[in-house]
């Protein structure tokens, strides 16, 4: 895929040394277009469809429910009996309809049919009176004519899903309820988009892999594991390219391999001021990459653009590229607030905004105006039903334990300054219900 040079055009309106988060998100959104479906669709069975993106609308082949049925345990009858009655309706029980065992004769105006939830409404009947509202003596029931009105307690054929209508739309990420819904339509297979392929690696001479001894001044590479986990949760295919040393040849090899193998390449480290000159030169020759300082904490330095696998930009295969900062918390914050939406869009998924909840600060929070901060918070529900939040303490972008202890991000908007106890904030819970 080739694209005209993006960033020269996009970034001119902003200062790349203090790009507001919203502007960065908007630019990324413009460049992370869904890939075409040609050659990128596969049919999978229901179990395999969980978490995948539907490639096309699923049209309901049947009505759900398939027939008019009772919503209650009670008695089915013709509503004309309601009008005919003065105060009480009196009907003879002509038989019984059970779920899966219909009563097939048509009762007359003075008759009713004992019916259980889900059973087919007998011919000519249109109303069900719940059993707890009637008195029964032998085969005669009585109930006040006001307790039920025409058509009540009946589920109509096609009420949930009408035959020929889209039951689920293309772009939907299939969830638990959707699997059940597809099964209720008798659908055994669906067309889903092939998974997006995302390659990732860490950069840094100081990094060691788990299992290796730690030399003085070295540290274990944690970013690859966090990235792997976050990518898995998005159900993309991952290619782990390991640790790349801070030298031109290794980095060039990794970037070109990654652009060849993947739709999106994510690296961590090597984009801050000290390292940027070296990487900038390389990335400019291999692609069209802009270096941003986002007005965001954590996550200030970030590189974004397009890379090619060939010896020069515009040659070979291309991939979208995110060069994330090295600090472990910054990796997570930039992933969730900058990268995530791009990966979903490229996967063909409909937009899924992160859920934000209003909470009250239970303590003052230090915040500098002029940047968006994503502090790590612990939110809890107060007795009055409101959410209340405190920070996890020190907010250094290397303190990964702050992410493990937190259950939400506290999103502090660009223009906001210090916060007092009792102020309202937005939080983004780590756990979504799916
Ligand atoms: P850099 O952006 O490369 O200057 O890295 C910033 C900080 O993050 C440095 O203290 C690095 O040691 C640390 N860091 C970079 N990459 C990783 C990684 N993969 N795992 C853990 N820490 C890292
Ligand atoms: Mg580094």
Domain 41-64+159-193 has CATH 3.90.105.10: yes
Distance in Å, CA 106 to ligand 1 centroid: 77
CA distance 378 to 357: 13
CB of 41 closer than 8 Å to CB of 55? yes
Q: Which are the contacts of 407, defined by CB distance < 8 A and separation ≥ 6?
A: 377, 378, 379, 429, 430, 431
CA distances from residue 241 to 70, 123, 244, 269 in whole angstroms, order as listed: 58, 67, 8, 14
Structure tokens at 11: 């970034």
Does residue 70's CB lie within 6 angstroms of at least one atom of ligand 1? no
The phi, psi pair for 408, rounded to 5°, reads: -160, 160
pTM of the full predicted structure?
Answer: 0.90
Q: What is the pLDDT of residue 420?
A: 98
Query: How many CB atoms are closer than 10 A to CB 28?
Result: 20
| CATH superfamily, domain at 69-155 | Molybdopterin biosynthesis moea protein, domain 3. (2.170.190.11)
Peptide bond into 271 cis (omega under 30): no
Q: Which residues of the chain have pLDDT under 70?
A: 1-14, 16, 432-434
Ligand 1, closest atom to CA 325? 2
For the Cβ of 246 lying below 6 angstroms from any atom of ligand 1, the answer is: no
Give the residue whose CA is nearest to atom 3 of ligand 1.
Answer: 269
Residue 176 class from Cβ within 10 Å (0-12 exposed, 13-18 middle, 19+ buried)?
A: exposed
Beta bridge mates, 408? 377, 429
Ligand 1 in reach of 221 Cβ (< 6 A):
yes
Centroid of ligand 2 to alpha carbon of 415 (angstroms): 30
Hey, CA dihedral for 19, 20, 23, 29, is it positive or negative? Answer: positive
Q: What's the length of the chain?
A: 434
Start-to-end Cα distance in the chain: 34
Class of domain 357-429: mainly beta
Beta bridge partners, 42, equal: 192
Question: Cα–Cα distance between 140 and 50 in angstroms, integer?
Answer: 51
pLDDT at 86: 84
Q: Is the minimum distance from the CB of 206 to ligand 1 under 6 angstroms? A: yes
pLDDT digit string (tens) for 86-130? 889 999 999 999 999 999 999 999 999 999 999 999 999 999 999
Distance CA 4, CA 79 (A): 69
What was the pLDDT predicted at 284? Answer: 85
| C-beta of residue 87 within 8 angstroms of C-beta of residue 81 | no
pLDDT of 273 = 77
Q: Could you tell me if the CB of 270 is within 6 A of ligand 1?
A: yes
State the fold for domain 4-35+196-346. Molybdenum Cofactor Biosythetic Enzyme; Chain A (3.40.980)
Domain boundaries, the chain: 4-35+196-346, 41-64+159-193, 69-155, 357-429
Alpha-carbon dihedral 174, 175, 178, 183, rounded to 10 degrees? 90
Beta strand pairing call for 237-244 and 318-324: unpaired
What number does the ligand 1 atom closest to the CA of 221 have? 20
């Amino acid at each position: 895929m080739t694209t005209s040079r993006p960033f020269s055009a996009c970034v001119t309106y902003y200062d790349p040394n203090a790009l507001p988060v919203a502007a960065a998100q908007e630019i990324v959104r413009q460049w992370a277009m869904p890939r075409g479906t040609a050659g990128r669709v596969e049919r999978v069975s229901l179990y395999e469809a969980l978490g995948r993106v539907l490639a096309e609308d699923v049209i309901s082949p049947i009505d759900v429910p398939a027939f008019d049925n009772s919503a209650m345990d009670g008695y089915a009858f013709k509503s004309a009996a309601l009008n005919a009655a003065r105060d009480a309706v009196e009907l003879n029980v002509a038989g019984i309809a059970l779920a899966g065992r219909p009563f097939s004769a048509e009762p007359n105006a003075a008759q009713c049919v004992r019916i259980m939830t889900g059973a087919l409404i007998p011919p000519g009947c249109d109303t069900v009176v719940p059993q707890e509202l009637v008195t029964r003596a032998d085969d005669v029931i009585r109930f006040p004519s006001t307790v039920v009105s025409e058509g009540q307690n009946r589920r109509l054929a096609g009420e949930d899903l009408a035959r020929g209508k889209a039951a689920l739309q293309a772009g939907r990420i299939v969830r638990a309820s959707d699997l059940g819904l597809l099964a209720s339509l008798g659908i055994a297979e669906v067309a889903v988009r092939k998974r997006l392929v995302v390659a990732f690696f860490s950069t840094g001479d100081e990094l060691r892999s788990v299992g290796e001894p730690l030399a003085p001044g070295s540290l274990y590479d944690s970013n690859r594991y966090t990235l792997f986990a976050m990518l898995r949760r998005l159900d993309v295919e991952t290619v782990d390219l390991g640790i790349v040393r801070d030298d031109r040849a290794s980095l060039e090899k990794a970037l070109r391999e990654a652009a060849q193998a993947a739709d999106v390449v994510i690296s961590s480290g090597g984009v801050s001021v000290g390292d940027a000159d070296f990487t900038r030169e390389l990335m400019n020759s291999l692609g069209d990459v802009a270096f941003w300082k986002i007005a965001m904490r954590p996550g200030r330095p970030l590189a974004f653009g397009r890379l090619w696998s060939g010896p020069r930009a515009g040659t070979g295969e291309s991939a979208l590229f995110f060069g994330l900062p090295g600090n472990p918390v910054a990796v997570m914050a930039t992933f969730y607030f900058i990268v995530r939406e791009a990966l979903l869009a490229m996967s063909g998924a409909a937009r899924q905004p992160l859920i934000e909840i209003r909470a009250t600060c239970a303590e003052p929070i230090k915040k500098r105006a002029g940047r968006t901060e994503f502090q790590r918070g612990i939110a809890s529900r107060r007795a009055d039903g409101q959410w209340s939040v405190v920070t996890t303490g020190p907010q250094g972008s290397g303190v990964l334990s702050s992410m493990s202890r937190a259950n939400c991000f506290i999103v502090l908007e660009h223009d906001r300054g210090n916060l007092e106890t009792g102020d309202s904030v937005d939080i983004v819970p780590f756990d979504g219900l799916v």
